[in-house]
Amino acid sequence: MAIAIGTVNAEVVYVRDVIYVPLREGQSSEDRVLHNGLRSGTRLERLTKNTETGNSLVRTKNGMEGWIPNQYLIRQPIAADLLNEAKQRLKVINQEYELALLRIEELEDILTQKNLREKALNARNLEISGELETNTQLSAKATEIDEGNSQLLIEQESQIANLGASNSAFRVLQDESKQLWFLYGASSVALSMLIGFWVARRIYRDSKSGGWS
């Protein structure tokens, strides 16, 4: 019996939506059964397709080769397998979604902590700015007080110098006054002595001329 299509290019086919399909050694229903029944959705590799007999030579994933009617083969997976595959994809998507939500929560926590740190830093900056302004004012006040103290010190030194000069002048005047009083006293003593000497001499003359006995 002739075969219509060669085995050069194999294609992937699936057992269609039938519960089980037998895999036979030949293309006749009388040929020996190699597999009691392939489950619907079983993935096969078609090696040859015979359009005259309506059978295809296929190979399972385990390497078993046999014939199966073309009517049981389709080029797409069955709906049940597609649904299961979709469920698996949906499950993976849901897992990825949950992970994304957790990541979003982590990022929100990080952002919240960052905002709190920024607020704390801003508050600290304001506090430091206030302290700096206060220190600047205190420094200016201290400079002003220091300048005032320096001016007072200069005035005090000037007053002390003036007072020293006044004391020196007072001491000079005091010394001169003492000298004048000394001269006045000496003059008075000398004058008293002269007067006494003159009086004594006068008395002596009068006594001689009057004949005192």
Q: What is the DSSP string of 94-116?
A: HHHHHHHHHHHHHHHHHHHHHHH
pLDDT of residue 104: 93
pLDDT of residue 127: 84
pLDDT in tens, 93-108: 998 898 898 899 889 8
Per CATH, the number for 11-77 is 2.30.30.40
- What mean pLDDT is predicted for residues 109-133? 87
Structure tokens at 186: 């000496």
Count other Cβ atoms within 10 Å, centred on residue 69. Answer: 15
> What gap in Å lies between CA 7 and CA 186, rounded to an integer?
167
CB neighbours of 47 closer than 8 A, spacing ≥ 6? Answer: 7, 10, 56, 57, 58, 59, 65
- Cα–Cα distances in angstroms (integers) from residue 187 to residues 20, 78, 193, in the given order: 168, 159, 10
pLDDT of residue 130: 85
Average pLDDT, the chain: 78
- For residue 7, pLDDT over 90 is answered with no
Residue 23 contacts residue 38 (beta carbons within 8 Å): yes
Q: Tell me the three state secondary structure of residue 32.
A: coil
State percent of the chain over pLDDT 70.
77
Residue 52 contacts residue 43 (beta carbons within 8 Å): no
pLDDT of residue 59: 93
The pTM of the full predicted model, rounded to 2 decimals, is 0.36
- For residue 75, pLDDT over 90 is answered with no
